[in-house]
Amino acid sequence: MLIFSGTSNRPLAEKIAEELGVDFGELEINTFPDNENRVMVLNKVLDEDVVLVQSTGISPNLYYMELFLILDGLKRSGAKSITLVMPYMGYQRQDHIFRSGEAVSLEVIVKIIEELGVDKTISFDLHSIKISEIFKKEIKELSALSLFAEKIKEMDLNDFTLVSPDMGGIRRIKILSELLNNAPYISIEKDRDLESGEIELSKINGKVTKIAIMVDDVISSGGTITKGAKFLLESGAEEVYAMAVHGIFAEEGHHNLENSDIKKVIVTDSIEIPEDRKFSKLEIISISKIISQELRK
Ligand code: R5P
């Protein structure tokens, strides 16, 4: 097995290769002055099973284009099988038609990667249960929720309640609750104006306790989490923590979270967070061992 990595999250790919004790394949990725990319596979991959690690994040279009070119390079060089490890798959919040005339962006991406020869895709905590149905080839959804459960146990908090910041996250919060001996959970009712993107929180379903731990799949602009935290604090919580599998921190998200009343924000390394977007309340936990375990099978 050979592991390759695009430029989106090389530290994670290196960790996985080290944990598995397998060789790291080299790619040459150049960007021309007009921002077009050129990709070249430098190792011999003829009849090899290869693993490609590429996530998205703040620059999904760049990383997807890079991914498509790497896949083409690997396939043309004779790779026997390609397993794509895509811990965060950008565009997954566009997994169906919300308003007539819209493209189903995730379906477009899945069509392309499967056409380019991906045999199996490994990803984490997908946005919705419907997403795996879009794939024709194998899709393995792994989860970072067990890491969050361990973290919460380590934090040794008394009388905490898990909070889903929207109704779409109920499935996730139920799983985490079970991992924590049926810890109590509540949910916030959130509406997003699809044209302006504005969020409105209308109601909390359940009892707010002193310590609230909000759990989401993704933090993008941070609007959902910061507004949710404010709502919980106004509704009786005294300490609010936030956990999300994927931390994009778009726009001013990192500053807004740092300046909010949230005590701590915990995300995984599914997306590489650049140094200038890290902040003092942020803690990053690694999903590498979960991926290595899956690849060992
Ligand atoms: C929405 O359904 C997702 O689960 C997240 O709550 C949302 O995408 C987070 O986005 P933002 O941080 O921009 O509010």
C-alpha dihedral sign at 6, 20, 172, 254: negative
Catalytic residue positions? 190
pLDDT digits (tens, 9 = 90+) for 203-216: 999 999 999 999 99
Q: Whose CA is closest to atom 3 on ligand 1? A: 218
pLDDT of residue 158: 86
pTM given for the model: 0.96
pLDDT digits (tens, 9 = 90+) for 70-105: 999 999 999 999 999 999 999 999 999 999 999 999
Question: What share of the chain in percent tops pLDDT 70?
Answer: 100
pLDDT of residue 118: 98
pLDDT of residue 192: 85
pLDDT of residue 1: 92
pLDDT of residue 122: 98
Residue 195 pLDDT greater than 90, yes or no: no
Residue 113 pLDDT greater than 90, yes or no: yes
Distance, in Å, from the CA atom of 108 to the CA atom of 199, rounded to the nearest integer, reads: 27
CB of 95 shorter than 6 A to ligand 1: no
Phi and psi dihedrals of 284, rounded to 5? -115, 125
What is the overall mean pLDDT for the chain? 96
Distance, in Å, from the CA atom of 59 to the CA atom of 64, rounded to the nearest integer, reads: 9
Quote the ligand 1 centre to 297 CA distance (angstroms).
33
Q: What angle do CA 123, 113, 75 make, to 5 degrees?
A: 110
